């Protein structure tokens, strides 16, 4: 507090053996605004002085029991060597202890008393400010080291939270980062004084709040010593936090907003002050640099890993191009040369050779399309094109007809609900599954394509054949790139091993799943589960609020069958079996 003429006001402990004199001195000082506690000497004089926690000790030299020296030393020992001591004397000043900062003769002139006390308190307050500043600087210096030495993302948030909280003697501290994609403020773990489970719950949407309310984002720094009753705060967030008092400093770089530094609850329940907030702001600037460095570092690491992955995919494709593209290319070249070099070839043979050239060219084009599509989906460059689909006519169109050795039965209940999906890609999946059913049933037989509803939100498409089937030990791999069943019969049928992998990418791109149940020599059932509205699901996934996928259907008809969910890395723990 500051009094008249810029003089700081303080608490004076006045030890005097003459109660009347003491009161008249106290009146003078109180008149200017100081607080004065008069202590009459006796056995517990030291304790009384300490109890009032003075900013200045004023003691009369005529105090003898205990001596002025004992009182002055005792008080300084307890409250710090800088506590100013003013001695009042009547007759002889020579007994004044070395600890004395000022001496005033009694009866003191009121103006002189005011002046001396004011001067001492001013010096004292300046000294305290300097001390605090150097403490803060030391703290900031130590903190910047701690931040820069912190290893990794996880350690950094914990370091910042603890260091910052300790600097302002708060019991809790946490860093909240702004997630631009989700438009959410998200508390980062580890924090200080909050459990990891608690931190997981601490998040809130930043948009859509009343402007009058503090949104922890746009309104700059904040100090609230009664957080629960503070109408500027987001009450739900404060109750999630479960704190009494808090301070928040934004972490910004220019116009860019990174997040917030939040500390809460003073260790001794004392209120936070403006000075604490200023210190927090200084620390927030340091924390911003540390968080930014860490973010850049993680981004760099992520980009590097992604590059390595792209590089691996590229090499893989180059390998495939060399292998799978060479066979048809050699055939095209061989037959073309024959036609060119043998002018006497009978017309029929020539036509047959040219048909082979055309077929191999088509095969190459398909292979090129498949590899391109895979690269686009894997690298996130593929955008699905959602439209409404009436599955009955759609499946009729997607399934190959006019097969001589196979009969195809379509089973789509009347009034089957329309779904939202990517028509071109869904057609690709259904065509691929039925073509496989035909291909891998070389002896012919019936193939069934059926659709069923699953709950209110999903549909199921199944393609059933009675062909070669799949050995149990290979069923789990088929939805991976280039995987083919390794039996003589299967390998005799030409294929690339990319079709089912593409089906899986498309199914997952729709928020769905694909799997197979099969028995060697008896046949296979490929199942495809899709949400009724994949566009909605894709949108939710972008916003990070994807509902959990439904449990897969159990293989109902053939319990002995071997089945496989497509993704070995599947995390929801469900399995079609
Ligand atoms: P492709 O037929 O071009 O090799 P796919 O990725 O569509 O590629 O299939 C991968 C492998 O799965 C096939 O090579 C085949 O061994 C096996 N497969 C697919 N569908 C069936 C089926 N209906 N019956 C038996 N095996 C199948």
Q: Which helix (H) or strand (E) holds 311?
A: helix 274-324
Residues 262, 248: contact at Cβ < 8 Å?
Answer: yes
548 Cα–ligand 1 center, Å? 29
Residue whose CB lies within 8 A of the most ligand 1 atoms, among 438, 495, 504, for a mutation test: 495
Q: b/e string for 238-272 if b means 16 or more Cβ within 10 A?
A: beebebbbbbbbbbeeeeebbbbbbbbbbeeeeeb
Virtual torsion, Cα 36, 37, 40, 42, nearest 10 deg: -140
CA–CA distance, 377 with 374 (Å, rounded to integer):
5
Burial of 426 (0-12, 13-18, 19+ CB in 10 A): buried
Task: Please count the other Cβ atoms lying within 10 Å of the Cβ belonging to residue 452.
Answer: 16
- DSSP state letter for 81: T
Residue 348 Cα to chain centre, angstroms: 68
Residues 6+ apart with CB under 8 A from 70: 46
Please report the pLDDT score of residue 147 as a whole number. 62
Residue whose CB lies within 8 A of the most ligand 1 atoms, among 440, 483, 502, 524, for a mutation test: 440
CA–CA distance, 337 with 454 (Å, rounded to integer):
56
Does the beta carbon of 507 sit less than 6 angstroms from any atom of ligand 1?
A: no
Does the beta carbon of 433 sit less than 6 angstroms from any atom of ligand 1?
A: no
Residues 85, 99: contact at Cβ < 8 Å?
Answer: yes
CA of 486, closest atom in ligand 1: 16
CA–CA distance, 483 with 228 (Å, rounded to integer):
60
For ligand 1, atom 13, which residue shows the shortest CA distance? 484
> pLDDT, tens digit, for every residue of 72-111?
999 998 888 889 999 999 887 777 777 788 888 888 888 8
For ligand 1, atom 2, which residue shows the shortest CA distance? 495
Q: What are the helix (H) ranges across 195-273?
A: 196-201, 235-241
Residues 171, 193: contact at Cβ < 8 Å?
Answer: yes
435 Cα–ligand 1 center, Å? 9
> pLDDT, tens digit, for every residue of 439-454?
999 999 999 999 999 9
For ligand 1, atom 23, which residue shows the shortest CA distance? 437
Does the beta carbon of 434 sit less than 6 angstroms from any atom of ligand 1?
A: no
Please report the pLDDT score of residue 544 as a whole number. 58
For ligand 1, atom 8, which residue shows the shortest CA distance? 497
CA–CA distance, 96 with 68 (Å, rounded to integer):
8
Residues 6+ apart with CB under 8 A from 528: 429, 430, 433, 460, 461, 462, 503, 507, 512, 513, 514
> Can you tell me whether residue 217 is helix, strand or coil?
coil
Residue 146 Cα to chain centre, angstroms: 22
Please report the pLDDT score of residue 4 as a whole number. 67
Greatest extent of the chain over all pairs of C-alpha atoms, in Å: 144
Please report the pLDDT score of residue 218 as a whole number. 54
CA–CA distance, 144 with 282 (Å, rounded to integer):
11
Please report the pLDDT score of residue 561 as a whole number. 41
- DSSP state letter for 32: H
Q: What are the helix (H) ranges across 95-109?
A: none
Does the beta carbon of 445 sit less than 6 angstroms from any atom of ligand 1?
A: no
Does the beta carbon of 437 sit less than 6 angstroms from any atom of ligand 1?
A: yes
Token pair listed for 11: 């608490």
**CA 451 to each of CA 282, 494, 528: distance values in angstroms, whole numbers, following the listed order:** 63, 29, 9
Q: In the beta sheet, which residues pair with residue 187?
A: 176
- 175-179 contact pairs (CB < 8 A, 24+): 175/251, 175/259, 175/260, 175/261, 175/262, 175/287, 175/291, 176/202, 176/216, 176/259, 176/260, 176/261, 176/262, 177/258, 177/259, 177/291, 178/206, 178/217, 178/257, 178/258, 178/259
| Helices vs strands, H then E, count in the chain | 15, 19
316 Cα–ligand 1 center, Å? 20
Burial of 435 (0-12, 13-18, 19+ CB in 10 A): middle
Q: Please list the pLDDT of the chain residue by residue as tens digits (577 residues).
A: 676 666 788 999 999 999 999 999 999 999 989 999 999 988 889 999 999 889 999 999 888 888 888 889 999 988 888 899 999 998 877 777 777 888 888 888 888 889 899 989 988 888 888 877 777 777 777 666 666 655 566 678 888 898 899 889 999 999 998 888 887 889 998 999 999 899 988 888 776 555 555 555 555 788 999 988 888 788 888 888 899 999 999 888 877 788 899 999 988 788 999 989 988 998 888 888 888 888 788 888 888 888 887 777 677 767 766 777 888 899 999 999 999 998 888 999 999 999 999 989 988 888 888 888 888 888 888 899 999 999 999 998 888 777 888 999 999 999 999 999 999 999 999 999 999 999 999 999 999 999 999 988 999 999 999 999 999 999 888 998 878 899 999 989 988 788 999 999 999 999 999 999 999 999 999 999 999 999 887 777 666 554 444 433 333 333 334 455 544 333 333 333 3
């Amino acid at each position: 507090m500051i009094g008249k003429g810029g003089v700081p006001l303080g608490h004076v402990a006045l030890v005097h053996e003459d109660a009347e004199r003491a009161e008249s001195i106290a009146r003078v000082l109180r008149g200017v605004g100081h607080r004065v506690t008069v202590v009459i000497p006796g056995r517990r004089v030291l304790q009384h002085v300490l109890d009032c926690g003075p900013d200045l000790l004023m003691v009369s030299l005529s105090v003898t029991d205990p001596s002025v020296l004992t009182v002055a030393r005792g008080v300084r020992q307890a409250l710090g060597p800088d506590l100013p001591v003013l001695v009042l004397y009547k007759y002889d000043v020579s007994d004044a202890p070395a600890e004395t900062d000022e001496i005033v003769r009694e009866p003191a002139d009121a103006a002189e008393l005011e002046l001396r006390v004011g001067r001492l308190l001013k010096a004292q307050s300046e000294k305290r400010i300097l001390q605090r500043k150097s403490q803060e600087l030391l703290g900031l210096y130590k903190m910047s080291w701690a931040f820069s030495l912190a290893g990794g993302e996880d350690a950094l948030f914990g370091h910042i939270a603890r260091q910052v909280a300790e600097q302002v003697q708060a019991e809790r501290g946490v860093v909240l980062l702004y997630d631009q994609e989700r438009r959410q403020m998200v508390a980062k773990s580890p924090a200080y004084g909050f459990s990891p489970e608690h931190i997981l719950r601490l998040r809130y949407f930043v948009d859509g709040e009343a402007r009058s309310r503090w949104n922890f984002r746009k309104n700059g720094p904040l100090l609230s010593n009664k957080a629960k009753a503070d109408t500027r705060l987001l009450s739900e967030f404060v109750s999630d936090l479960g704190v009494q008092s808090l301070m928040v400093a934004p972490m910004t770089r220019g116009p860019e907003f990174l997040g917030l530094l939040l500390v809460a609850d003073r260790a001794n329940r004392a209120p936070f002050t403006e000075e604490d907030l200023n210190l927090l702001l200084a620390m927030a600037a340091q924390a911003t640099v540390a968080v930014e460095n860490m973010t850049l570092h993680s981004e760099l690491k992520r980009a590097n890993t992604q590059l390595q992955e792209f590089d691996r995919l590229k090499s893989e494709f180059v390998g495939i191009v060399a292998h799978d593209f060479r066979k048809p290319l050699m055939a095209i070249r061989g037959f073309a040369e024959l036609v060119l070099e043998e002018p006497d070839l009978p017309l029929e043979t020539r036509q047959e050779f040219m048909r082979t050239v055309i077929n191999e060219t088509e095969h190459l084009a398909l292979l090129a399309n498949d590899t391109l599509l895979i690269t686009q989906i894997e690298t996130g460059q593929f955008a699905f094109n959602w439209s409404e689909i009436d599955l009955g006519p759609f499946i009729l169109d997607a399934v190959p007809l006019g097969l001589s050795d196979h009969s195809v039965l379509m089973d789509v209940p009347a009034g089957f609900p329309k779904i939202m999906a990517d028509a071109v890609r869904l057609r690709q999946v259904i065509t691929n599954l039925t073509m496989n059913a035909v291909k891998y049933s070389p002896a012919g037989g019936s193939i069934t394509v059926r659709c069923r509803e699953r709950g209110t939100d999903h549909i199921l498409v199944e393609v059933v054949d009675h062909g070669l089937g799949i050995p149990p030990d290979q069923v789990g791999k088929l939805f991976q790139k280039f995987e083919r069943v390794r039996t003589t019969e299967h390998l005799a049928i030409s294929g690339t091993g990319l079709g089912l992998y593409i089906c899986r990418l498309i199914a997952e791109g729709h928020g769905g799943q694909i799997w197979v149940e099969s028995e060697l020599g008896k046949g296979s059932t490929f199942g495809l589960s899709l949400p009724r509205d994949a566009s909605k699901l894709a949108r939710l996934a972008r916003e990070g609020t994807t509902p959990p996928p439904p449990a897969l259907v159990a293989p109902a008809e053939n319990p002995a069958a071997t089945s496989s969910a497509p993704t070995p890395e599947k995390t929801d723990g469900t399995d079609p079996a």
